[in-house]
Structure 1
Amino acid sequence: MTSTITGAPTGVAPGQPSPAPEARKKKQGGGLGGYLLVRFLLIFPTIFILVSTVFLLMRTTGDPITAALGGRLPADQLAERVHAAGYDRPLFTQYVEYMGQIARGDFGHTISDNRPVTEVLTTYGTATLELAFYALIVAFAIGIPLGRYAASRRDKGPDAGLRIGAVLAYATPVFFIGILLKLVFSVWLDWLPVAGRASTGAEIAMQHDGLQTGFYTIDAISTGNPQILRDVLEHAVLPAIALGLLTGGIFLRLVRTNVIGTLSTGYVEAARSRGVNERRLLRKHAWRPALVPIITVIGLQVALMLSGAVLTETTFEWKGLGFQLIQYVKARDYVAVQGMVVMLAVIVALTNFVVDIIAALVDPRIRF
């Protein structure tokens, strides 16, 4: 009869020492460095697929010059410009050349105003990033504390009211929320500016005395004038609320669901049986495990914010990438549109990588 050694690790002969904990950990899949390296390398195929998809979709409309200038130029001049730009060559040749340009950081020139697309991106991209930053602050300020409060009042009146409000915030179009905010706080109450990133006087002062980084908050602070900073912040309030409410509703429901889930786990029940009060249970035992799914979703919400920024910037005449993208779409300037969409895709990919880092630091279990 064959005897079995109880407790011997799988794959280890009886009488031999078991592997060291470090070796077992290495065998399981590596630590934080390996996890982050894999996540970083995944950025490149993701961007490659996105760039290729955008290129092919843009080319289905024909060559960009004919789309933008067709009917405005004589046929011979139009054909000359198409040939000079190389859009009459085989599609695969154009694709290879375009990918080479992207690798060098060259997104081409716009057709409608003949500007380098990289200049357009740097000029208007800072405005979009600044708006997304403020909107994310609003989303956190609304979603996280209210989600925790709803979880602590589960199935009671406040919980039901907050859940309904979260659904309404998510379901209401962002441009409609923007119009309502403008009507109430700009027209009726006259508390906040109706549109723009800053008043004309503030913009002139920042051009003379500011750092001119494109981030108006930083530029306003660098002037040393609190009135200019106040003007910039007042212009940012309504657009940030309009865009932040959309994501805040998602955060509220997500926080509520995850906190309720962690409050029902065995270790929380054990702490509760030892007499730990509910507030301490929420703060010390249930909150951190509930953070991981929330952090993971943040990356997806950044993409949602950037798409919502198109409507928000148009509603408030916030001159960022979204606002400018609409202008180029109207002009059928698909070279500019293509460059902007690619840049937004890169921003989303990098944001997801940063979110992966934060999630791995919060919960080491996801590294394996």
Structure 2
Amino acid sequence: MSTLTPAGVEPSPTAPDPATGPRPTRRSGGGGGLGRYVVIRFLLIIPTVLILVTTVFWLMRATGDPITAAQGGRLSPEQLQERIHAAGYDRPIFVQYVEYLGNLLHGDFGTTISDNRPVTEVLTTYGAATLELAVYALIVAFAVGIPLGRIAAARRDRLPDAVLRVSAILSYATPVFFAGLLLKLVFSVSLGWFPVAGRATTGTEIQLEMLDDPTGFYLVDAIRTGDPDAVGDVLMHAVLPAVALGLLTAGVFLRLVRTNMIGTLSTEYVTAARSRGVSERRLVRKHAWRPALIPIITVIGLQIALLLSGAVLTETTFEWKGLGFQLAEYLQARDFVAVQGIVVLIAVVVAVTNFVVDVVAALIDPRVRY
């Protein structure tokens, strides 16, 4: 039986009930808000990738057709024109652009000019090496940046905090190739602790190539061999490149954790807990730690893009045979078809990574999607 007000009107669904007390208010659109957010973010991948693909295509064509750029001066004018006509580069540029988009939709990135290999083969062969290096670098960034950020926040405006802040600035301001050269000079040349370059010794590489269906991830393949020496060899070769690239991001994580933990420790509920005698260590661990991780999650997408761009210089410095190393080789050969394919793949990886990170951030912090 419904309860009537003195005016004879049935109360609203949110009005307090005399028998049961106040009724909870319903928040409409919670799940729908998340669903719409995910769909919109997913659909934004398409124009993002299209803009990047279009920009790369027109920039590559700004210097002329790829065959003239790569083979000009090496072939006679007649041979050059024959190859240009056979590849279809003498057609209108807009027709080439539409055909290129159609090929991309079918997974065809073209064929390299310098070594006549399908670009997809280059991407699958060397992509695993770059992804492996990026994972190593992220592990270094998390292992260094997050704990040091906690220490800096806990010792705010004291000597450890000042030292760590300066170190963070230096870590992401130092060019990655310069950091790599310093690490090689100190730990490889002077101390001899780590290998100078490469992903593994020649013997280990031969051992990994003899596996059935190698994954391209040296650590995974080394574990599959069951040889501890192979696993150790792969890890020893990965230390210096991972540290050189990981420090680039560790400084960013350190400052983010420090800033957000200081902000959390200044809130009223933390002040109230401190007045009740809760120790600073418990306040940091229970109250300030998790909120400080949310900004880290939201910027991981940007850091992936930074890591992939830094991988070009890192792989060149340490002769790490990945996409970054191959990209530098193809740039020197002026093989714009290969360069275009590698850049497009990196753009797609960055766009998809940002989408995944945005979804995770929305699940953790509902304020992101409202």
2:248 is matched with 246
* TM-aligned CA deviation for residue 15 of structure 1: 4.6
Partner of 1:364: 366
Read off the aligned partner of 1:91 and give its amino acid letter: I
Q: Retained in 1: the 8 A contact 2:57–2:340?
A: yes
Residue by residue over 1:139-161, the C-alpha shift from the partner in whole angstroms, topping out at 9 and shown as x without a partner, is 11110000010000000000000
> Where does the alignment leave 5 or more consecutive residues of structure 2 unmatched?
1-8, 16-22
Give 1:119's aligned residue.
121
Alpha carbons 2:294, 2:365 under 8 Å: kept: yes
Match of 1:3 in 2: none
* Conserved 8 A contact 1:143-1:251: yes
- Work out the CA distance in 1 between the residues paired with 2:90 and 2:151: 61
One of 318, 321, 324 as aligned partner of 1:322: 324
Equivalent residue number for residue 349 of structure 1: 351
Seen in structure 2, the aligned counterparts of structure 1 residues 284 and 117 have a Cα distance that, compared at 3 Å, is same
Query: 1:224 and 2:226 equivalent?
Result: yes
Equivalent residue for 1:30, pick from 29, 32, 35:
32
Task: Report the counterpart of residue 85 of structure 2 in structure 1.
Answer: 83
Instruction: Please show how residues 90-109 of structure 1 align to structure 2 within 5 Å.
Output: 90-109=92-111
CA deviation string 1:269-304 (max 9, x = no partner): 222222221111111111112211111111101111
Q: 1:22 to 1:213 in 2, by over 3 A?
A: farther
The equivalent of 1:5 in structure 2 is none
Task: Give distance in 2, aligned partners of 1:30 and 1:269.
Answer: 36
Counterparts in 2 of 1:351 and 1:21: CA distance versus 1, 3 Å: farther
TM-score by length of 2: 0.92
Structure 1 match to 2:206: 204
User: Which deviates more, 289-298 or 109-118?
Assistant: 289-298
Output the aligned Cα RMSD.
1.8
Deviations 1:167-211 (A, max 9, x none): 111111111111111111111111111000000000111122364
Give identity over the alignment, percent.
72
Deviation at 1:362, TM superposition (A): 2.0
Aligned pairs for 1:230-309 (under 5 A) are: 230-309=232-311
1:17 aligned partner, one-letter code: P
Q: Provide the C-alpha distance between the structure 2 equivalents of 1:21 and 1:212, rounded to a whole number of angstroms.
A: 58
Q: 1:50 to 1:16 in 2, by over 3 A?
A: same
Tell me which residue corresponds to 1:134: 136
CA distance 1:260–1:210, shift in 2 (3 Å): farther
Amino acid of the structure 2 residue aligned with 1:36: V
Indicate how the Cα distance of structure 1 residues 14 and 47 shifts in structure 2: closer, same or farther if over 3 A, else same.
farther
Give the conservation status (yes or no) of the 8 Å contact 1:210–1:223. no
Output one character per residue of 1:91-139: Cα deviation in whole Å (capped at 9) or x when no partner. 1111110000111111000000110000000001100000000000001
CA positional deviation for 1:75: 0.6
Question: Number of residue pairs matched?
Answer: 355
User: Which runs of at least 4 in structure 1 moved beyond 6 Å after TM superposition?
Assistant: 19-23
Q: Is the 8 A contact 1:211 1:222 kept in 2?
A: no
Cα distance, 1:17 vs structure 2: 3.2
CA contact (8 A) 2:152 2:160 kept: yes
Q: Which residue of 2 aligns with 1:17?
A: 13
